[in-house]
């Protein structure tokens, strides 16, 4: 199907739910093409209308399989699902890793599912600067849920918390060490904790350990939160526990809306989006003017970062 | 001991090896205090003179214990060691996590060891923007090795590779899943792979799996590298293999100097440092002017990131 690049036409088609138009619009927005800017501006009007669910956790926890199951669950309820798969390591290897995400890709041909992978291309940190633009396209497209999945080297929990509304932290019974070593960051940002692969031995212990660690967190000088992050056991391969997980995700969304916490999070997301925008536009412009000679001059100590930085910003 | 903030005096003392002065200088540089700038400029002259070794890998791999052992090894050779412990998750919980790093802290009172923890304070990504400034202080202080350890949620390998000269990727025999799920990024940036906790069952299999995965990487269309990343088994608790690891670290430094790869990496580090500098000075200045009303105006759709971003940059 041919899709024009005309902004008005693209916007209209995206808002009508046209996947081909959304795909084109997303490319324009993500590539930071000048043509993407009017689109991004329009789609931003839909920001915050749809629950964004982040799936994070260590490698091997079964995040993709679980995401696939969640998609299946939402589809059984006729909800439209948008999926963004972010790959933090692609800065080096180039491509994105949807190929590894078989359980997600099973849904790729379902017209009620829109899937896109985003490479973080050389960014410092696990997120791509254009993730918010991509999210707003999916919001404008009329998705009922947006799932942001990190390929997950286990770090993304803090970053993802500035992007989504609800953070699912996925682990497994085999990851006892992981749970023990889990840093405060993960414990604090997880809104729902999932012990996946619940068919493995040690499920109850893992659930208990997590609940204990979470209770400890509450005790350690923190105010009791209105939302106490629940722990749910799932077996993504068989689908066990997935409906329960989806129920908790819905409950968290209701909590966010009722408590005012949702608006607080949306503000934080917007602040991050603004930070990304400024970074893209200023830093990249300035750094785009760095020459190989500039770098050589630093290596040979003819200049230093502060001196060179000021020069770049003045020009 | 009282240490003045006079830049000339501080610089002189740091270059004489004075730890109290280095500690003060590091605070000034890291806090982005205006007083830190002349210091940073001077210390930059020492950039690239000392091998920087990054220790990364998943949580529970024993990175801190291994780092402690490496420090002990270098101290037995009378080498002066600088240690920077970066904590990516402290953006939320505030403090840094040296408390968890018992095996490192054993060396805290050794006058031949300078240890500092750096919190990444709200940065997107696992590194703190001021890490280069901290490194240059340690270089000026006359350290013979600088070890940068991430608390490690297993993601830092790609980021750390733009900061250090030699990346140690630490895993354990119990992390078979982890090795299998290890992303191309980790495989590509690791200069030395460490199977720690080699007293656990499955050491040989883990070493073999890693070697296999590395060989596969070589086969997959990549040019054969001059340096083929070795795999070494260590038992950090007993100290087994640590001398062998230190030998490989030295060999890699020799390789970097002889092959020209070291200069290439230094250029990449300087490019990243410049990027951090520009980010700090421009983005933070611009974002420092964001008001709560601005964020509210985004939430209520009176403005959008691009419009607000332009306004901030023009003012």
Closest in B45, B184, B274 to A92, CB measured: B184
Q: How far is CA B307 from CA A7, A40, B193, B296, B298, in A?
A: 18, 11, 47, 14, 10
Is A83 strand, coil or helix? strand
What is the C-alpha separation between B146 and B70, in angstroms, rounded? 11
Mean pLDDT of A38-42: 92
Q: What is the pLDDT of residue B178?
A: 62
- Residue A149 near residue A83, CB atoms below 8 Å: yes
* b/e code A131-151 from CB counts within 10 Å (16+ = b): bbbbbbbbbbbbbebbbbbbb
Mean pLDDT of A220-236: 77
Task: Indicate whether A181 pLDDT > 90.
Answer: no
Q: What is the pLDDT of residue A96?
A: 43
Q: What is the pLDDT of residue A177?
A: 62
Q: What is the pLDDT of residue A209?
A: 86
If DSSP states are collapsed to H, E and C, what string results for A290-308? CCHHHHHHHHCCCCCHHHH
Q: What is the rounded end-to-end Cα distance, in angstroms, of chain A?
A: 45
A251-298 confidence digits (pLDDT tens): 999 999 999 999 999 999 998 898 888 877 777 677 788 899 999 999
- Give chain B's residues under pLDDT 70: 1-3, 33, 87-100, 120-129, 151-158, 176-185, 217-225
Residue A272 burial by CB count (10 A; 0-12/13-18/19+): exposed, middle or buried? buried
Which site among A29, A59, A91, A292 would you substitute to test the B interface, given the most B Cβ atoms closer than 10 Å to its Cβ? A59
Q: What is the pLDDT of residue A122?
A: 43
Q: What is the pLDDT of residue B212?
A: 85
Q: Residue B87 pairs with which residues in a beta bridge? A: B119
Q: What is the pLDDT of residue A88?
A: 53
Q: Which two tokens stand for residue B240?
A: 């087994």
B124 touching A (Cβ < 8 Å): yes
Q: How far is CA A51 from CA A138, A143, A155, A167, B286, in A?
A: 11, 9, 22, 11, 30
Task: Indicate whether A93 pLDDT > 60.
Answer: no
Phi, psi of B262 (to 5 degrees): -60, -45
A52-86 confidence digits (pLDDT tens): 999 988 777 888 899 999 999 999 999 999 999 87
Phi, psi of B42 (to 5 degrees): -70, -45
Q: Which CATH architecture has domain B48-257?
A: 3-Layer(aba) Sandwich (3.40)
CATH of domain A47-259: 3.40.50.300
Which residues of chain A does B288 touch, with a Cβ-Cβ cutoff of 8 Å?
none
Closest in A153, A278, A287 to B287, CB measured: A278
What is the C-alpha separation between A281 and A288, in angstroms, rounded? 10
Confidence of residue A162 (pLDDT cuts 50, 70, 90): confident
- Residue B67 near residue B56, CB atoms below 8 Å: no
In chain B, which residue ranges form alpha helices assigned H by DSSP? 7-15, 19-30, 36-43, 63-76, 90-93, 102-105, 131-140, 157-160, 176-181, 184-189, 203-219, 242-259, 261-278, 284-288, 292-299, 305-314
What is the number of helices (H) and of strands (E) in chain B?
Answer: 16, 7
Which residues of chain B does A98 touch, with a Cβ-Cβ cutoff of 8 Å?
none
* Averaged confidence pLDDT in chain A: 83
Cβ within 8 Å of residue B157, ≥6 positions away: A153, B56, B57, B167, B169, B185, B186, B189, B190
What is the C-alpha separation between B67 and B69, in angstroms, rounded? 5
Q: B89, A186: Cβ pair inside 8 Å? A: yes
Cβ within 8 Å of residue B260, ≥6 positions away: none
Q: What is the pLDDT of residue B151?
A: 63
A129 or B6, greater pLDDT: B6
The domain ranges of chain A are 1-46, 47-259, 273-314
Confidence of residue A221 (pLDDT cuts 50, 70, 90): very low
Which residues of chain A does B88 touch, with a Cβ-Cβ cutoff of 8 Å?
155, 158, 185
Q: A124, B272: Cβ pair inside 8 Å? A: yes
Confidence of residue A94 (pLDDT cuts 50, 70, 90): very low
- Residue B29 near residue B144, CB atoms below 8 Å: no
Confidence of residue A14 (pLDDT cuts 50, 70, 90): very high
Instruction: Give ∠ CA B205-B209-B214 in degrees, rounded to 5.
Output: 150
Q: Quote the DSSP letter at residue A44.
A: G
Q: For the ranges A98-112, A119-133, B135-149, B192-206, which has the lowest average pLDDT?
A: A119-133
Q: What is the rounded end-to-end Cα distance, in angstroms, of chain B?
A: 44
Q: A267, B154: Cβ pair inside 8 Å? A: no
Which site among B155, B175, B284, B302 would you substitute to test the A interface, given the most A Cβ atoms closer than 10 Å to its Cβ? B155
Neighbours of B282 (CB within 10 A): 21
Q: What is the pLDDT of residue A218?
A: 56
Q: For the ranges A157-166, A180-189, B169-178, which has the lowest average pLDDT?
A: A180-189
List B residues 45-104 in contact with A (Cβ-Cβ < 8 A): 45, 47-48, 58-60, 88-93, 97
Task: Indicate whether A24 pLDDT > 60.
Answer: yes
Residue B22 burial by CB count (10 A; 0-12/13-18/19+): exposed, middle or buried? buried
Task: Indicate whether A33 pLDDT > 80.
Answer: no
Which site among A154, A155, A269, A301 would you substitute to test the B interface, given the most B Cβ atoms closer than 10 Å to its Cβ? A155
What is the C-alpha separation between A9 and B301, in angstroms, rounded? 22
């Amino acid at each position: 199907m041919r899709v024009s690049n005309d902004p008005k036409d693209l916007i209209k088609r995206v808002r009508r739910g046209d996947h081909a138009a959304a795909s084109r619009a997303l490319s324009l927005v993500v590539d930071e093409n000048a043509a993407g800017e009017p689109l991004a501006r329009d789609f931003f009007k839909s920001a915050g209308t749809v629950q964004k669910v982040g799936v994070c956790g260590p490698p091997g926890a079964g995040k993709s399989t679980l995401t696939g199951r969640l998609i299946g669950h939402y589809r059984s309820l006729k909800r439209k699902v948008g999926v963004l798969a972010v790959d933090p390591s692609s800065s080096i290897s180039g491509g994105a890793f949807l190929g590894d995400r078989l359980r997600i890709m099973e849904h790729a041909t379902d017209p009620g599912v829109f899937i896109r992978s985003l490479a973080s291309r050389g960014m410092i940190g696990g997120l791509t600067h254009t993730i918010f633009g991509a999210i707003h396209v999916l919001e404008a497209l009329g998705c009922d849920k947006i799932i942001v999945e990190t390929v997950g080297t286990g770090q993304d929990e803090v970053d993802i918390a500035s992007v989504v509304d609800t953070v699912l932290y996925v682990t497994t019974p085999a990851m006892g060490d992981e749970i023990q070593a889990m840093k405060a960051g993960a414990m604090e940002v997880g809104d729902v904790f999932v012990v996946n692969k619940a068919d493995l031995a040690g499920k109850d212990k893992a659930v208990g350990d997590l609940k204990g660690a979470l209770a400890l967190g509450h005790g350690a000088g923190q105010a009791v939160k209105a939302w106490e992050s629940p722990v749910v056991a799932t077996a993504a391969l068989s689908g066990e526990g997935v409906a329960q997980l989806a129920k908790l995700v819905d409950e968290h969304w209701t909590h966010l809306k009722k408590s005012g916490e949702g608006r607080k999070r949306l503000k934080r997301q917007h602040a991050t989006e603004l930070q990304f925008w400024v970074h893209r536009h200023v830093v990249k412009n300035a750094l785009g003017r760095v020459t190989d000679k500039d770098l050589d001059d630093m290596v040979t100590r003819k200049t230093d970062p502060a001196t060179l930085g000021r020069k770049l910003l003045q020009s």
